[in-house]
Chain A
Amino acid sequence: MGKNVATRDAYGEALLEVGAAYPEVVVLDADLSKSTKTAKFAERYPERFFNMGIAEQNLMGTAAGLAAAGKIPFASTFAIFATGRAFEQIRNSIAYPHLNVKIAATHAGLTVGEDGGSHQATEDIAIMRAIPNLTVLVPADGVETKKAVWAAVRHQGPVYLRLGRPAVPVIFGEDYDFALGRAAVLREGDKVALLATGIMVSEALKAADLLAGEGIEASVINVSTIKPLDVETVVTFARRCGAVVTAEEHNILGGLGGAVAEALAENCPVPMVRVGVRDVFGRSGTPEELLQAYGLTADSIAGAARAVVRRKG
């Protein structure tokens, strides 16, 4: 895999792999197949690809029906439309009957970029996380995306897979050991635990380098399965470090920060800072400009870590 890869591109490639291995895999899109990268599957397996047009409710409902008849449907559109427009179809047609639909939503978060706030889903994790039966995955890079797609196919039940638009650094080797439901410890340190998800994982690793230069040894944990949350690992590192920073390309309400805060409040309350979008909408700009403007950077994570370490008793 190259140096920088968009997770949506890795998804498109992974679909070809699982499509070859599982004849029951079918793919549905809502007129965005070139952007969600399902077009490659459509070209390779035209009879197993269904374009539903600009109709996300029917996209999810049809996927549910296909799953009820034994197929493994991947339903793709942008995160804002999947979780916003089709929320209730995901809840009632897919999750409530525990149907085997994989919702692969691309263009999540601020890094949609120039299309602006109307298209930047920064609440999708919160929405999906509140639905029973649904597994929520947020891969950090292209390698993890491919492994997450394979894990989603092998998992019996509905999955929400959150993917991004721009090319992002590849941080894992092909030997990266991904397991659904397990947070991955990428670096160990005792002063502060940096829990990150999605594109913020590479920023957290950079932040750990910055902090190490100042004598603050940080653990970095990739929480790619937001639900079910790996509470054991989260609590273990909160206890060990005594301070936690979460980082996500999502509203600080209800996403990774929310999930970790809930787990720690009940099991191991420690000083904590959430790095994320601070309950505001996004706007137009390049992805880099937006990440800078909204404080989703290694510098912000390092700053939060310094502040939270000072709060330790």
Chain B
Amino acid sequence: MDEETRKYLEEKARTLRRHIIRMLAEAGSGHPGGSLSAADIVTALYFRVLRLDPRNPAWPERDRFVLSKGHAAPALYAALAERGFFPVEDLWGLRKLSSHLQGHPDMRKTPGVEASTGSLGQGLAMANGMALAGKLDRKDYRVYALIGDGEMEEGEIWEAAMAASHYRLDNLTVFLDYNGLQIDGPTSQVMSTEPVEEKWRSFRWNVIPIDGHDFGQILTAIEQAREHLGQPTMIVARTIKGKGVSFMENAVGWHGNAPTREQAQKALAELGGEPVSE
């Protein structure tokens, strides 16, 4: 990856993070921690990888992205707005009655959202179905999904994990947003999920461990997944919950609490760019 691309993606990711903070402050509720930890992966996908047409969201040849950890919806919405699926101004209506931006992604309300998710564990199975359909129709679109490490505690994830390798879904690439925290505390304390890489390998997935905030590693892993035949790929992305905002980083309390206006201003100042005046 050249330096220009890196700078471009880093700037986009910063824009997404600023949108996330502003959206959540406007909404007064929502999930900053997991949105910020996923922001770099979502940025790489929407601004370097996914084959999309914002003017034709239902284009049959498009790549699909399923945000299985649907509570990170602000990251997805920010990317969709920046890609032109709907106006950036829509973001400030998040979670409000008049808005199409639901608390968790709704494929019937928001252009560009591929699956209604938010109830954890369900998105990976839906991604499997899309990948199966792609195989059946001999289409070359690819299916991407993002799951959380807490989400791995859901049984349906492992049902879907078995099925994806059974059906050799090599058109499916999944990211694990491995930030190590869930609502009640560190994942290692709430419900041990380790050894994570071995688990996915034993389910016969192609497993690629990376730093989920390093664009070079994200893009290289996606390229390796594309070239890997006969198996689905799990990119185990080590991330920092709340990444980019010092007082939110690695703090359990920022899973599902929106920042106040003062906290939001402090976060935006850290993220750089123009200050937001209200």
Instruction: Write the residues of chain A forming the contact surface with B, with a CB cutoff of 8 angstroms.
Output: 26, 47-48, 50, 52-53, 55, 57-58, 60-71, 73, 88-89, 92-93, 96-98
Residues of B within 8 A of A67 (CB): 129
Q: Is B259 an interface residue (CB 8 A)?
A: no
Which residues of the other chain, A, contact B126 by a CB distance below 8 angstroms? 61-62, 64-65, 68, 93
In the complex the two chains form, what is the Cα distance from A68 to B230 in whole Å?
A: 24
Interchain residue pairs with CB less than 8 A apart (18): A26-B136, A50-B132, A52-B163, A53-B159, A58-B156, A61-B125, A61-B128, A62-B129, A65-B128, A66-B129, A68-B107, A68-B115, A69-B130, A73-B129, A88-B122, A89-B156, A93-B125, A97-B107
Q: Is the CB of B116 within 8 A of A97?
A: yes
12 further contact pairs, Cβ within 8 A, besides A61-B124, A66-B132, A70-B133: A53-B162, A58-B128, A61-B129, A62-B126, A63-B129, A65-B129, A66-B130, A68-B130, A70-B60, A89-B122, A92-B122, A98-B108
Chain B residues within an 8 Å CB radius of A58: 125, 128, 156, 159-160, 162-163
Bound complex: CA of A57 vs CA of B124, how far in Å?
11
| Closest B residue, CB atoms, query A57 | B156
CA A181 to CA B129, docked complex, whole Å? 30
In the complex, B149 has a CB within 8 A of chain A: no
**Chain B residues whose C-beta falls within 8 Å of the C-beta of A98 in the assembled complex:** 108
> Quick one: which of B121, B122, B155 has the most chain A CB within 10 A?
B122
Contact B133 A66 (CB under 8 A): yes
The answer to the question of B134 belonging to the interface, with a C-beta cut-off of 8 Å to chain A, is: yes
Tell whether B127 is near chain A: CB-to-CB under 8 Å: yes
Size category, B interface: 20 to 34
In contact, B116 and A69 (Cβ under 8 angstroms):
no
How far apart sit A64 and B119, CA to CA, in the bound complex (Å)?
14
Closest chain B residue to A58 by CB distance?
B159
**Set of chain B residues within 8 Å of A47, measured between Cβ atoms:** 136
Q: For residue A57, which residues in chain B have a CB less than 8 angstroms away from its CB?
A: 121-122, 125, 155-156, 159
With known contacts A47-B136, A66-B130, A61–B107 Cβ distance under 8 A:
no
Which one of A47, A53, A62 has the greatest number of beta carbons of chain B within 10 Å? A62
Q: For residues 130 through 159 of chain B, which have their beta carbon under 8 Å from a beta carbon of chain A?
A: 130-134, 136-137, 155-156, 159
Evaluate contact between A55 and B162: CB separation under 8 angstroms.
yes
Give 5 nearest A-B pairs by CB, closest first: A65-B129, A61-B125, A69-B133, A58-B159, A55-B159
Are A88 and B128 neighbours in the complex by a CB distance under 8 Å?
A: no
A244 to chain B, nearest CB (A): 37
Would you give the shortest CB distance from B58 to chain A, in whole angstroms?
Answer: 10
Q: Report the separation of the CA atoms of residues A48 and B136 in the bound assembly, to the nearest whole angstrom.
A: 8
Complex Cα distance, B33 from A60, in Å, reads 30
Q: Which of B121, B127, B155 contacts A65 (CB 8 A)?
A: B127
CB within 8 Å for A71 and B116 given contacts A50-B167, A58-B160: no
Pair A62/B115 contact, Cβ less than 8 Å:
no
Q: Is the CB of B116 within 8 A of A65?
A: no
**Most chain B beta-carbon contacts within 10 A, residue among A48, A53, A57, A61:** A61
Chain A residues closer than 8 Å to B106, beta-carbon distance: 96-97
From A65, A71, A73, A97, B125 is in contact (CB under 8 Å) with A65
Chain B 153-195, CB-CB to A under 8 Å as 1, else 0, gives 0011001101100110000000000000000000000000000
Q: How far is the CB of A57 from chain B (nearest CB, A)?
A: 4
Q: For the complex formed, measure the closest distance between the CB of B17 and the CB atoms of chain A, giving whole angstroms.
A: 28
Shortest CB-to-CB span from B125 to chain A, Å, is: 2
A74 → B minimal CB distance (Å): 13
Residue of A26, A61, A65, A97 ringed by the most chain B CB atoms within 10 A: A65
- Which residues in B have their C-beta under 8 angstroms from that of A64? 115, 125-126, 129
In the complex, A64→B60 CA distance in Å? 16
| A69–B119 alpha-carbon span in the complex (Å) | 21
